Structure 1
Amino acid sequence: MKLQRLKAAALALATVVLLTGCETMPQAGGSGGLNVLSSALGGGSGGGSRVGGVMDVFQGVSTAFKDYSPEEQRAMGHDFASVLVGARPLLRNDAVQRYVNQVGWWVAAQAEKPKDKDGKDIQFAWRFGVLDSDAVNAYATPGGFVFITWGLMQRLKSEAELAGVLGHEIAHVTRGHYLSALKKGGVAQAAGGALQARGGSNALVNTAMVNFAKNLYSKGLDQSDEFDADRQGVLYAARAGYAPIGLPTVLNMYAATGSKADVSYSLLFSTHPAPKDRLDKLQPFMTSKFSTAASVSNEARYEAIRRLLPTK
């Protein structure tokens, strides 16, 4: 059943890919354990544009990329995505899915490409999806799946804010944060569509991978990885031509409206540093890097999509 659901999700995302044109984003003239997860959900380097002096590429990309081939990362990404889509399916709205893919692909195009063990650029097969959940959260997987809930989208006010959120999740992929977590978690090395554990069967290893993903999404990544993804997410969005204040604005919204006691925010707050801490870490970066960055927000275009989202 889980495999069928993931295949359906992949088909839906493939349909979005076929429907999505090659629109450049942003357009000029814009107006400025599984039970735990399920419950919470319910309640490069090259090729990217460079905006106004936003040229810096942070060092320290995970060495874990050298341990996993692109094919192995994609296989792990499917396992991770099965956990997310198994908890909540994709929202049935082609226009919303198409729009998020357009913004996501454009932001992802600005990210640096890490190297594999042979020194070749890793080309991610980026796929973006909106989960049918009123929770406030976003997720990524190895290999390039990125998901955002419609509950979070309802609370955003502009395309720049969406770009910042997606940039944060894209950074988790391009910076190898999930691969590092896999290594720290002692999960065996990947091969083909399953992991090859020493002395274990593929079925056992697939189960171990899915269980690891459930645990990771329930507990979260290291705080240092979240701070790193914030910085890179702002950078990617700014390179794409969006106002760099997008993600900090979202973090301010989290601080003003959310708490662990609110079921809509409970998983987000339990798996991420406090919004104030994230803002404090971002402040020096924001003041030093973006004095000449673009300021496109596209509020009107975003509002047109937001009206298509479900309401509580």
Structure 2
Amino acid sequence: MFNPYAWLSHRVNRRWIYPLISAIMAIALVVSSSYPSSAFSVRRLIGPGLEVLQLSTMSDAQEVALGQQINQQILSRQFRRYGNTQINNYVTEVGDRLVAQSDRPNLPYTFQVVEDDSINAFATMGGFVYVTTGLLQAMDNEAQLAGVMSHEIGHIVSKHSIRQMREVIIARGLAGAAGVDSNIAVQLGVELALRLPRSRQHEYEADRGALAILLNTGYSPLGLVQFFEKLLDKPSPPTFLSTHPASSDRIAALEQMIPAAQANQGMGLDGAAYRERIRPLL
């Protein structure tokens, strides 16, 4: 059987082997960093899970690539996209307006409406934001929709999914010597997006980020507060709040953060205009 390593040892002086290997690995690392997609991955050369172990320094391109895989799993196994073009375009229109005033405006956000009667919204890394048809039907006006979407954008801006994934990986001991398999990372991303509640700190951070986005965009900052208050009156809190800690405390904190001069100002409070935009759902 042909042994390429034995052949190499005869053909190349030993003192050149290790420098040669180092040079090859250095070139591979440089090449991989220049590619924005997953077309070339150093993980194929030095073992799976390297990107997961480096979540704290993940590039935007790597975050989007992992988010795309998580999104595929969510849409193929958990939810179905709502097919009405008018509704999808409207949600994307509101989302794009908000993203432009966020701290990560260059991320390629994807806003999706999914068919579900529950009142819910969620997001995952890479700019993927989801709102349910039940949430849209429960809204009174566009300012409330903008408030909820800004909150989810706030999670993405602060990279909460990445931070939470890293914490869960450490807590569950999922990282081995070679790292974490990419399939495990994707499944964990789905779990984080749909089932695991975020920490109290992350919720407050997303609320603060949402408020800043709303004020910068010109939406009424009371939209998010009003919607939270409306949902708290329900006998059984919807998924959007039941998985988030200390909802009443968060409402009080938001009210304190809203500048007095802007409390009763801003666009998006016209209920009739909102109902017209979501007419196919009514």
TM-score (norm 2): 0.72
- 1:151-230 mapped onto 2 (5 Å cutoff): 151-186=134-169, 198-199=177-178, 205-216=181-192, 217-230=194-207
- 1:195-274 mapped onto 2 (5 Å cutoff): 198-199=177-178, 205-216=181-192, 217-257=194-234, 259-260=236-237, 265=238, 267-274=239-246
1:109 correspondence with 2:100: yes
- 1:33-112 mapped onto 2 (5 Å cutoff): 67-85=57-75, 86-112=77-103
Matched length: 223
Q: Which has the higher contact order (CA 8 A, sep 6+)?
A: 1
Partner SS for 1:104: helix
Compare CA radii of gyration and give the structure with the larger one: 2
C-alpha change, 1:292 and 1:150, in structure 2 (3 Å) is closer
Is contact 1:254–1:275 with CA below 8 Å preserved after alignment? no
**In 2: Cα distance, 1:96 partner to 1:129 partner:** 10
**In 1: Cα distance, 2:73 partner to 2:196 partner:** 14
What RMSD over aligned residues (CA atoms) do the two structures have, in Å? Answer: 2.4
Q: CA deviation at 1:309?
A: 1.2
Partner SS for 1:79: helix
- 1:124-143 mapped onto 2 (5 Å cutoff): 124-143=107-126
Is contact 1:197–1:205 with CA below 8 Å preserved after alignment? no
Q: Percent identity?
A: 27
Q: CA deviation at 1:80?
A: 2.5
C-alpha change, 1:209 and 1:293, in structure 2 (3 Å) is same
Partner of 1:308: 280
Q: CA deviation at 1:288?
A: 5.2
Q: CA deviation at 1:247?
A: 0.4
Partner of 2:6: none
Residues 227-279 of structure 1, C-alpha deviations (whole Å, 9 max, x = no match):
2111211221221111110100110111012525xxxx2x3344202431221
Q: Greater share of helix residues, 1 or 2?
A: 2
Farther-moved stretch of structure 1 (219-228 vs 131-140): 219-228
Moved over 4 A (4+): none
C-alpha change, 1:79 and 1:270, in structure 2 (3 Å) is farther
Q: Which residue type is aligned with residue 178 of structure 2? A: G
C-alpha change, 1:212 and 1:300, in structure 2 (3 Å) is same
Is contact 2:111–2:130 with CA below 8 Å preserved after alignment? yes
Q: CA deviation at 1:283?
A: 2.1
Q: CA deviation at 1:292?
A: 7.7
Unaligned runs of 5+ residues in structure 1 are 1-63, 114-121, 188-195
Q: CA deviation at 1:68?
A: 0.5
Farther-moved stretch of structure 1 (240-249 vs 273-282): 273-282
Residues 21-40 of structure 1, C-alpha deviations (whole Å, 9 max, x = no match):
xxxxxxxxxxxxxxxxxxxx
TM-score (norm 1): 0.65
Partner SS for 1:102: helix
